[in-house]
Amino acid sequence: MSARAAILPSRYEEPRLVGRGGMGEIYLAHDRMLGRTVAVKLLAERLAEDSELRERFRREALTAARLSAEPHVVTIFDVGEHAGRPFTVMEYLPGGTLAQRMPGPVEPTRALAWLRQAAEALDAAHASGVVHRDVKPANLLFDGADRLQVVDFGIARLVDETLGMTAPGTILGTAGYLAPEQASGRETTAASDRYALAVVAYELLAGRRPFERRSETAEAAAHIHEPVPPASEQGVGLPEEVDAVFARALAKNPVHRYPTVSSFVDSLAGALHGQPARAVPPRPRRRHLGALALAGALLLALGGVAAALVSRDDGRPEQAAAPGPRTVTQQVTVKRQTTSVQTITQASAPGPGGGLDTDEAAALNDEAFTLMQEGEWEEALPLLERAVPALQGTYSDDFPHEAYAEYNLGRTLAELERCEDALPHLDRSKELQGNRKEIVEAKKICRGGGSDD
C-alpha cells in the first residue's frame, strides 16, 4: 500500500489530492464497499494533534451529516478518524462550483432556479439552528444532474474557534460576501447567511458583486459603510424593481433583511417580472440591556459613530458639542492578514439633518436601531435626531426609512421618559405606515399615551 493511500481507511481506495486549505486536504477516492467515487475531507495533521480540536471537527461533521437529509445539502456518508486524523466522507459533486460558472451575468431564469435550491438548503439549516457562515459561490456545487448543493456547513465555525478569530474587528469569511456584522467582527447569524446569498444573487444577475473592490479590506469596509449600488444601473438590462429587493436583502441592519432566504428569492422573482417589492418595516425587539463592552465594539465597528460621543466623569457617554473631523483607525483581518482601515468622519454642520443625504440618514438610522436593540437609548438618541430631519418628506414604498426613523426616535424618547416629545414622532410614523402594533406598544410606555385602535 502506498504512503498516500495509508492516510485513509482501506475502504477508500486510490485517493487523489484535489484541494488543500487552512483546515486540511480534500481527496477523491473510490469507496470499494459501495462502489462509488467520494470526496474525503481530512483534518490537517498539525491540527489533528489537538485532541479538543479533533472532537470539534467530529462534532461539526456530525452536525453537517444531520443536515444532509435536507434537499440541496451535500450528503455526508461517513464520519470517522484514521491514523489520528479525523475525516468526513461526502458525495462527489462532478458539476463543479458556481464560482466556475461566473464571472458574467447569468440568464435570470437559470439564476433563480439555482437561488431557490440554495434557499431550500439554507432555510432548512436555519430552522435547525445551524448557520453556515461562509456562503459564497465556491461553496455552492453542482451534482451530475446540474442540481445545486450547499457544502461546508460547520467548517466556518470550526475555523472561527480554531484560529481564534472571534474578537471584535476580526473578519471571518470571504470579503466579497461578508455581511456588515461579520465585516465588523460581530455575531454571525442566519441573517448573515441571507445577506451573503443576496450578494451571490446580485453577482449572478449583474455580473459583479455589489461592493467589488481591488482589495479585500476595501471591499469588507464597503459592506459596512456604503449604500447598495442599484443593480439596474449595471448595464445588463435588469428592471428597476430589483433595486428595492436588493436594498432590503443587503440592509446594513440584520433585522431589516428578509426573514427567510426563500422570501428574498420570491421577491426577486417578482421584481424580475416587473412587480414592485413591498417594503415591510422591521419588527423591533423588546428592550434588553447589552454589555457596555459590546456597545463599545459596535460603535467602533460602525466606523466613526464614536466620534459623536465623549465620556462624562461617570463613564456614561454624552453627545459632544460641535466635534471636529476625526480619523478612526479600525484593525480588521482578512484571511488572517491584519490591516488598518482609516475612516475620516466629518462633524455635522448645524441645521436639519446635519447636512446628511438620505442614504447617509438611513444608514445612521440603522446604526441607531442596533443600539436600541441593546437598550442603549441615550446613545441612539443623537443619531436619530440627525437622521429624522434629513429623511423628512422622503417616504415611499421603495424607501420607507422615514417611517422607520420616526418610530425609532419616538420609541427612544418614550424609553427615556420624554413622552411629550415622543408622541408626535410615533404619530408621524403611524401616519406614514399605518397603526402597527409596535407603535401601539411604544405609546403604552408613556403613561397617558394610551393605545390607538
Active site residues: 134
Tell me 227's DSSP state: P
Tell me how far apart the alpha carbons of residues 179 and 166 are, in angstroms, rounded to a whole number.
15
Tell me how far apart the alpha carbons of residues 242 and 236 are, in angstroms, rounded to a whole number.
12
Main-chain dihedrals φ then ψ at residue 331, nearest 5 degrees: -85, 120
What angle (nearest 5°) sits at the alpha carbon of residue 199, between those of residues 99 and 297?
120
Cis upstream peptide for 71 (omega within 30°): no
Closest CA to 257 of 205, 180, 203, 184: 180
Say how far residue 53 (Cα) sits from the centre of its chain: 26
Tell me how far apart the alpha carbons of residues 305 and 432 are, in angstroms, rounded to a whole number.
28
Cell digits of residue 394: 422622503
Q: For the chain, give me the number of helices (H) and strands (E)?
A: 15, 11
SS3 content of the chain, % helix, strand, coil (to 5): 45, 15, 40
Tell me how far apart the alpha carbons of residues 344 and 324 are, in angstroms, rounded to a whole number.
11
**Is 300 in contact with 379 (CB distance < 8 Å)?**
no
Handedness of CA 187, 179, 399, 112 (dihedral sign): negative
Main-chain dihedrals φ then ψ at residue 58, nearest 5 degrees: -65, -40
